[in-house]
Amino acid sequence: MPRRDALPRLAAMQPTPSSTPPTWLDLAADDPFGIDNLPYGVFSTEGTAPRVGVRVGDRVLDLAPCAEDAGMESALVWRAETLNPFLALGAHAWRSAREWVTEILVNDSYRDAVEPHLLPLSDVTMHLPIAVADYVDFYASEHHASNVGRIFRPDSEPLTPNWKHLPIGYHGRSGTVVLSGTDIVRPCGQRKPPTADAPTFGASQRLDIEAELGFVVGGSTDLGEPVPLDRADEHLFGVVILNDWSARDIQAWEYVPLGPFLGKSFATSISPWVVTMDALRAARVPLPGQDPAPLDYLRGAPTEDGASTAYGLDIDYEVEWNGTVVSRPAYRDMYWSPAQMLTHLTVNGATVRPGDLFGSGTVSGPAKETRGCFLELSWSGQEPVRLGDGSERTFLEDGDTVVLRASAPGPHGTRIGLGECSGTVRPARTP
């Protein structure tokens, strides 16, 4: 294989190709993991250490030996057990890597060297793709925030006075971010129904999900250095599907006045493949509209292609409960943009670190069938959800499995798959 430069070299911006490049891979044109996607993950095979791979179709490209064969210094980054060293290199390196991976999968002259390093997905074990640095969860859906406001505070305005002025968020627990497929043990804690005189302790009786988008952040900033909106894309590496498991009874009792705590921190699941923001370029859409206009530091500016630095994303979700699709939220309905969320969380000078993760908040649309959590879908348990086997649910029961799936438009009519994020509820372990 011809030698290529090491990754961190600054590559010239390539114009967007006019059509999806042909590839020597045997891939269906509508494969959601086609040549326009190329998400990164961390995998291992039996008896080998975890390392970085790229998913293409139903196979995983083992990047380290490809880079080693070519004498590339970047092989070290691909040998790492997380994406963090790659995330640390920053946006120019991410673009160079994407160009390199595309080239070796498209250019027939690389086929003999690369093909042995394409492993069947069924032969690999996936791992958490990032060592999560700081984890923040936002609340960016107006529909979700309004519905929760009506349910939790029926005597007040649905949205709090600050909601349309800043993306509301809280710092979550990075150490309990787990890979899709990890069992979720029902949490115990204090709960106090409004009608009860005193709190009781026990297993949550109102265990819920939140279908969200998780943003994986890279590069780094100095303490005290905010990330302006027009530079947020330099730190937004990619996205995962995120499930913010939520114990509503614990949350409702504990959240005033400092926000979510033990009702959220027991587990957050993410999908294994990080789909890059570059792969989602065709999915960029204008925000649904912000009124009142946000303060200057959160206000989007026009980009070269006539869009805005404060863009939304056209990502379709599917929420499956024990095999029945119960909701289809759409990310394009979200009020705050990814760049606005990142800018806001650093505007006070808080640092960005490789491996930071922030969640969008529950993705909910205006219609009932687009609500992204069961609190909203069952309207706090008053309107049970009927599943395919005839059973009814309000909140999660032990043994229940939830699978979140998502995909977005790619270039030239293709789809970009985000894969899936699943979890099964296991019985509580009382102390």
What is the CB neighbour count within 10 angstroms for residue 200? Answer: 11
Beta carbon nearer to Ca ion, 64 or 209: 209
Identify which of residues 146 and 303 has a Cβ nearer to Ca ion in the complex: 146
Of 4-12, 236-244, 272-280, 317-325: span binding Ca ion (CB under 5 A): 236-244
Give me the least distance between CB of 396 and Ca ion, in Å please.
15
CB of residue 142 vs Ca ion: minimum separation in angstroms?
15
Binding of Ca ion at residue 210 (CB under 5 A)? yes
**Other beta carbons within 10 Å of 69:** 16
Q: Which stretch binds Ca ion (CB under 5 A): 57-65, 168-176, 240-248, 283-291?
A: 240-248
Least distance in angstroms from the C-beta of 205 to Ca ion: 20
Of positions 244, 316, 320, 376, contacts Ca ion by CB under 5 A: 244
Count, residues near Ca ion per rule CB under 5 A: 3
Q: Which is nearer to Ca ion, 142 or 210 (CB)?
A: 210
Nearer to Ca ion, 244 or 356 (CB): 244
Distances (CA, A) of 81 to 60, 84, 122, 267: 15, 9, 20, 21
Query: Which of these, 260, 236, 226, 227, lies nearest to 246 by C-alpha position?
Result: 260
Peptide bond before 257: cis, by omega within 30 degrees of 0? yes
Q: How far apart are CA 217 and CA 405, in angstroms?
A: 21
d(CA 74, CA 373): 41
Nearest-approach distance from CB 137 to Ca ion, in angstroms: 5
Q: What residues form DSSP beta bridges with 393? A: 385
Q: Which residue has the CB atom at the shortest distance from Ca ion?
A: 244
Nearer to Ca ion by C-beta: 31 or 210?
210
List binders of Ca ion among 98-127 (CB under 5 A).
none
Cα angle for residues 144, 355, 128 (degrees, 5° grid): 85
Least Cα distance to 80 among 92, 96, 63, 93 occurs for 63
DSSP type of residue 205: S
Q: How would you list the strands of the sheet with 51-56, edge to edge?
A: 118-120, 59-62, 51-56, 40-44, 125-127
Rounded to an integer, what distance in angstroms lies between the CA atom of residue 335 and that of residue 319? 21
Would you please indicate which residues are annotated as catalytic (active-site) residues? 144
Least distance in angstroms from the C-beta of 201 to Ca ion: 24
Question: Is the CB of 62 or the CB of 137 nearer to Ca ion?
Answer: 137
Residue 319: exposure state from Cβ atoms within 10 A (0-12, 13-18, ≥19): buried
- 369 secondary structure, DSSP code: G
Q: CB 135 → Ca ion: shortest distance, Å?
A: 11
**Going residue by residue from 156 to 195, which x/- string records binding to Ca ion, judged by CB under 5 A?**
----------------------------------------
Q: Locate 7 and state its tokens.
A: 């990754």
Contact map string, positions 129 to 148, toward Ca ion, x by CB under 5 A: --------x-----------
| Min dist. Cβ of residue 64 to Ca ion (A) | 35
Q: How far is CA 119 from the centre of its chain?
A: 25
210 vs 356, beta carbon nearer Ca ion: 210
Our finding on whether 208 is near Ca ion (CB under 5 A) is: no
Amino acid (one-letter) located at 155: D
Which range binds Ca ion by CB under 5 A, 46-54, 238-246, 338-346, 374-382? 238-246
Q: β-pairing, 135-138 with 356-359?
A: parallel
The pair of structure tokens assigned to 170 is 């809280």
Binding positions for Ca ion, rule: CB under 5 A: 137, 210, 244
